[in-house]
């Protein structure tokens, strides 16, 4: 991957379907989130090959992952092995992350180690609301210990979620699991674990900013919302104190980079901050080399 040739690095892209057509979520959650984000048809479940073609055409790289929430949902995930293997066919634009079900305890730790050693994943995605766990639950600590040892990035969904939104009882999905203050405990107990708090963390934006300001290895990605809806304090801190810790993420395929970038262009940001958010912060966090170097 030649970082210098890229215009941006999108750190939040979902692999929504396996090669044999198996969806990442049960049908009622897939269709519900599609309605919430106003995404139609095949746009909701692009293949990894089509994701690669899309990002290559737009001269961007993408961090790609699935979510393993089988314990909470009863639905088998798109396998992280498959995601990583497919990403390996497009190393010029795709960066694989893994996902393991934290409720699988020791088996989750073994799976994480295997995904790193055999498939070279760069990090792991967690969705506390969907996986039904508080990130500071001690049952997940052996997993974090392994990820810290392996030098992984841990990316956590935070705040509101479009999954279950508008469905009866929110499809049983509880927002409280995604309060970013729980990540303050994780960052304190695993001080060398690199953490990304995903999304503007509605209704806990100030909490997310506080954690990122206080803990050196906590970052924030801006995925899942059009920048025109960003709360003013998020823009203010991205422009100043957190300029080196805020990352571009789209939430593709639910939100396209084109729409995100068009609205991002209208934000009142310093010119020198824009390239940090769009590419440079992510390249540093992920250990990607520039100046003609390759990942």
pLDDT in tens, 201-220: 999 999 999 999 999 999 99
> Given this model, what pLDDT does residue 293 score?
41
> Given this model, what pLDDT does residue 164 score?
87
- Structural domain boundaries in the chain: 3-286
Does 103 score more than 70 pLDDT? yes
Q: Whole-angstrom Cα distance, residue 273 to residue 277?
A: 6
pTM above 0.85, yes or no: yes
Q: List Cβ neighbours of 216 (8 Å cut-off, separation of 6 or more).
A: none
Q: Give residue-wise pLDDT tens across range 154-169.
A: 999 999 998 888 899 9
Per-residue pLDDT, averaged over 66-92, amounts to 97
Give the HSE-up count for residue 251: Cα atoms under 13 Å, Cβ half-sphere. 24
User: What's the whole-number average pLDDT of the chain?
Assistant: 93
Percentage of the residues of the chain whose pLDDT score is greater than 70? 93
> Given this model, what pLDDT does residue 292 score?
42
- 224-244: burial string, b at 16+ Cβ within 10 Å, e else: bbebeebeeebbebbbeebbe
Q: Whole-angstrom Cα distance, residue 209 to residue 234?
A: 7
Q: Whole-angstrom Cα distance, residue 155 to residue 216?
A: 15
Q: Give residue-wise pLDDT tens across range 5-57.
A: 999 999 999 999 999 998 888 778 766 666 766 665 556 578 999 999 999 99
Cα torsion angle, 169, 170, 173, 177, sign: negative
Whether the Cβ atoms of residue 239 and residue 208 lie closer than 8 Å to each other: no
DSSP-derived 3-state class of residue 67: coil
> Given this model, what pLDDT does residue 291 score?
42
For the beta sheet containing 194-198, the strands, ordered from the edge strand earlier in sequence to the opposite edge, are 123-126, 153-157, 194-198, 218-221, 246-247
Whether the Cβ atoms of residue 219 and residue 246 lie closer than 8 Å to each other: yes
Whether the Cβ atoms of residue 87 and residue 96 lie closer than 8 Å to each other: yes
Q: What is the CATH number of domain 3-286?
A: 3.20.20.140
Does 290 score more than 90 pLDDT? no
Q: Give residue-wise pLDDT tens across range 229-267.
A: 999 999 999 999 999 999 999 999 999 999 999 999 999
């Amino acid at each position: 991957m030649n970082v210098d040739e890229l215009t941006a690095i999108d750190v939040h892209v979902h692999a929504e379907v396996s090669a044999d057509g198996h969806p990442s979520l049960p049908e009622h959650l897939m269709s519900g989130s599609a309605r919430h984000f106003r995404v139609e048809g095949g746009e909701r479940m692009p293949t990894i090959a089509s994701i690669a073609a899309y990002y290559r055409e737009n001269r961007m790289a993408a961090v790609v992952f699935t979510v393993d929430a089988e314990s909470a949902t009863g639905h088998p995930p798109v396998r992280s092995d498959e995601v990583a293997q497919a990403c390996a066919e497009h190393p010029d634009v795709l960066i694989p992350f893994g996902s393991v079900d934290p409720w699988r305890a020791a088996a989750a730790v073994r799976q994480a180690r295997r995904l790193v050693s055999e498939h070279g994943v760069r990090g792991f995605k967690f969705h506390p609301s969907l996986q039904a766990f508080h990130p500071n639950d001690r049952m997940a600590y052996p997993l974090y210990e392994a990820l810290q040892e392996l030098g992984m990035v841990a990316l956590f969904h935070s705040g509101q979620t479009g999954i279950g939104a508008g469905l009866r009882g929110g499809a049983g999905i509880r927002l409280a699991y995604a309060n970013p203050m729980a990540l303050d405990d994780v960052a304190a107990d695993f001080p060398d674990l690199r953490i990304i708090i995903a999304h503007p963390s509605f209704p806990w934006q100030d909490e997310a900013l506080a954690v990122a300001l206080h803990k050196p290895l906590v970052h924030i990605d801006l995925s899942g919302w059009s920048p025109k809806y960003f709360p003013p304090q998020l823009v203010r801190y991205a422009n100043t104190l957190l300029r080196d810790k805020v990352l571009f993420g789209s939430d593709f395929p639910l939100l396209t980079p084109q729409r995100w970038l068009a609205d991002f262009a209208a934000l009142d940001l310093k010119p020198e901050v824009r390239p940090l958010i769009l590419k440079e912060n992510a390249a540093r966090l992920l250990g990607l080399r520039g100046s003609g170097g390759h990942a």
